[in-house]
Amino acid sequence: MIRSTAAGLALGSAALALAGLAQAQTAAAPAPAVRGPESVADWYNAGTAFIERSKAQKDDARRARNVILFVGDGMGISTITAARILEGQLQGKPGEENRLSFDNFPYTALSKTYSWDQQTSDSAPTMTAISTGYKTREGMLSVNHTTSRGECNATVVEAKKVKSILELAAENGKATGIVTTARITHATPGALYAHTAVRDWEADSNLSATDINTGAPCRGAPGAVKDIARQLIELSPAVRSSLKVALGGGRTYFMPAKQGGADVFDPEYPTQKGRRLDGRNLTEEWIATRGGTQAAYVWNKAQFDAVDPAKTHHLLGLFEPSHVQYEADRSTDPAGEPSLTEMTDKALRMLMKDPKGFFLHVEGGRIDHAHHAGNARRALIETIEFSNAIRRTVEVLQAAGQLDDTLIVVTADHSHTFTIAGYPSRGNNILGLVQEVPNRDGGALAPTLDSHKLPFTTLAYANGPGARPGARPNLSSVDTTQLEYLQEALVPLASETHGGEDVAIYARGPKAYLVRGSMEQNWIFHVMREAYGF
């Protein structure tokens, strides 16, 4: 008994000594160089909260009064991830834990973006698929895939056209609207109201002189297909009455090149001329064909701000000769122009007046353009503003008591060759050089080096204007976060290309539960149609 007690005392002393040693070692251990803000319990608690929210989510089988289709042009999944991180970092957080507004939508799916004849598609057939339910050919807007390339005959195009969700909404008495940061005649918005074999026929001056199939006269000839800007003005009676608001860029596509023998110049940029050869001023025709005093045309921020949604029935806003300014550059615009969020807000307030409900399309068009330029910072800022517009939409609908009656779908038409790579540490500047977690706690962060001992950025492109001739540049003293920096690219191209992988779909509201799994892109149309009950 005495021996056992002595042994126990000895073991107890040893345990205390080991505990003391461990405590001393823990106290002396250096802090990790990279640390997230979460506690150990936070991870488990957040997962539990997600399960509880998911269990509380009920599939809404009601019909939708309203449908809003948000398209982030070129907003691939890597773009969403990088924009999410940048937004969080601009708020002083690590960034990875941040969520864009639509990240909180309860239903998600993947969309397969190939077209009838393209593995990696352009915006014309992809938006045609989303808006009409039919996959078509490269460069074509809302005509079926049996249409010949370059088809110029209006009768043939009429026979080949497929109706868009906007046209169906109009025929069913809904108000409709289009908002974009691209030209209003560009492929994505154009697919909703125009039918043409060539997406580039935005003004009559863009049409081919002759039909490439028959050799017959095309541009300006009787029986030739109308240009896209003209189609926006000369809509069917139902669509013309329903289209309450159209906001974006592309002003010169609606302006004559000459009038009365004199050149016609843009009101904001006096060296830029109108593009129309037919002498028509389509902005004036918008007002004349839509009730005169009840219609408005605006081209700058002051005019836009002065529009009262309660008193205006038809609003056309064209804020640039071509695409509107990037969000990062908008404050320098000579005449001023509204943000995507501001345009979306005004469009909503005009459309919500209709007792039968509405259809609204909102495009973040310049995400795509910044990626084509190899300029990640502008692309991500555009994506953040796109998210802001969606957040504002939810707030406005909630305040008006219409959120629960509205199906909101957020998706992209296609992706880009944009990558997030390396092994950057948590909170590493998403626009900066890759810095990995040090091998031991307390170690200093330093740029990761490639096989030639050169640092590299987290963000890059597979192709595009960021390709440098010869050996890779040494980026050690380069500010890769500045607005004009072009991320490195592997294959040199004047314009970076689209990517062909699946893109995401996010949805909330009536029938949103139909967005699920792996979807063909054209099925999105059928979700919207089913939500309306058409």
Q: Each residue of 362-398: b (16+ CB within 10 Å) or e?
A: bbbbbbbbbbbbbbbbbbbbbbbbbbbbbebbbebbe
| Burial of 46 from C-beta contacts in 10 A (0-12 / 13-18 / 19+) | exposed
Distance CA 401, CA 67 (A): 15
pLDDT higher at 401 or 6: 401
For residues 459 and 430, is the Cβ–Cβ distance under 8 A?
yes
Q: What is the mean pLDDT of residues 440-445?
A: 92
pLDDT of 26 > 60? The answer is no
pLDDT in tens, 271-293: 999 999 999 999 999 999 998 78
pLDDT of 135 > 60? The answer is yes
pLDDT of 403 > 60? The answer is yes
Task: Tell me the whole-structure pTM to 2 decimals.
Answer: 0.93
Q: Which amino acid is at 376?
A: A
Which residues touch 166 (CB under 8 Å, ≥6 apart)?
Answer: 131, 176, 178, 192, 193, 239, 243, 359, 361
DSSP 220: T
Q: What is the mean pLDDT of residues 318-333?
A: 97
Catalytic site residue 451? no
pLDDT of 11 > 80? The answer is no
| Burial of 133 from C-beta contacts in 10 A (0-12 / 13-18 / 19+) | buried
CATH of region 62-417+497-532, choose from 3.30.200.20, 3.40.50.170, 3.40.720.10, 3.40.50.150? 3.40.720.10
Q: How many CB atoms lie within 10 A of CB 106?
A: 18
pLDDT in tens, 476-532: 999 999 999 999 999 999 999 999 999 999 999 999 999 999 999 999 999 999 999
Distance CA 335, CA 301 (A): 7
Share above pLDDT 90 across residues of the chain, in percent, rounded to a whole number: 92
Q: Give the model's pLDDT for residue 6.
A: 47
Q: Give the model's pLDDT for residue 29.
A: 85
Distance CA 186, CA 119 (A): 21
Q: Give the model's pLDDT for residue 480.
A: 98
Q: Sign of dihedral through CA atoms 26, 31, 32, 36?
A: positive
pLDDT of 31 > 50? The answer is yes
Share above pLDDT 70 across residues of the chain, in percent, rounded to a whole number: 95
Q: What is the mean pLDDT of residues 296-305?
A: 98
**Distance (Å) of CA 301 to CA 286, 297, 307, 339:** 19, 12, 10, 9
Q: Give the model's pLDDT for residue 291.
A: 83
Q: 408: alpha, beta or left, given left = phi > 0 and alpha = psi -120 to 50?
A: beta
DSSP 143: B
Q: Give the model's pLDDT for residue 292.
A: 78
Q: Which residue has the tokens 């026929």?
A: 201
pLDDT in tens, 237-273: 999 999 999 999 999 999 999 999 999 999 999 999 9
Q: Give the model's pLDDT for residue 28.
A: 72
Q: Which of 5-14, 176-185, 287-296 has the lowest mean pLDDT?
A: 5-14
Q: Give the model's pLDDT for residue 3.
A: 45
| Burial of 520 from C-beta contacts in 10 A (0-12 / 13-18 / 19+) | middle
| Burial of 503 from C-beta contacts in 10 A (0-12 / 13-18 / 19+) | buried
Distance CA 445, CA 501 (A): 34
Tokens of 90: 């601009």
pLDDT of 8 > 60? The answer is no
Instruction: Place 154 in a pLDDT band, splitting at 50, 70 and 90.
Output: very high
Q: Give the model's pLDDT for residue 180.
A: 98
Q: Which residue has the tokens 């339910």?
A: 133
| Burial of 490 from C-beta contacts in 10 A (0-12 / 13-18 / 19+) | middle
Phi, psi (deg, nearest 5) at residue 411? -155, -175
Q: Give the model's pLDDT for residue 376.
A: 98
Q: For residue 245, what are the β-bridge partners? A: 177, 315
Q: Give the model's pLDDT for residue 20.
A: 53
How do the domains of the chain map onto residue ranges? 62-417+497-532
- Active-site hit among 101, 111, 121, 123: 123
Average pLDDT over the chain reads 94
pLDDT of 2 > 50? The answer is no
For residues 504 and 457, is the Cβ–Cβ distance under 8 A?
no
Q: Sign of dihedral through CA atoms 53, 54, 55, 61?
A: positive
pLDDT of 41 > 80? The answer is yes
Q: Give the model's pLDDT for residue 528.
A: 98
**Distance (Å) of CA 186 to CA 17, 127, 420:** 75, 11, 29
| Angle, CA of 130, 131 and 137, to the nearest 5° | 70
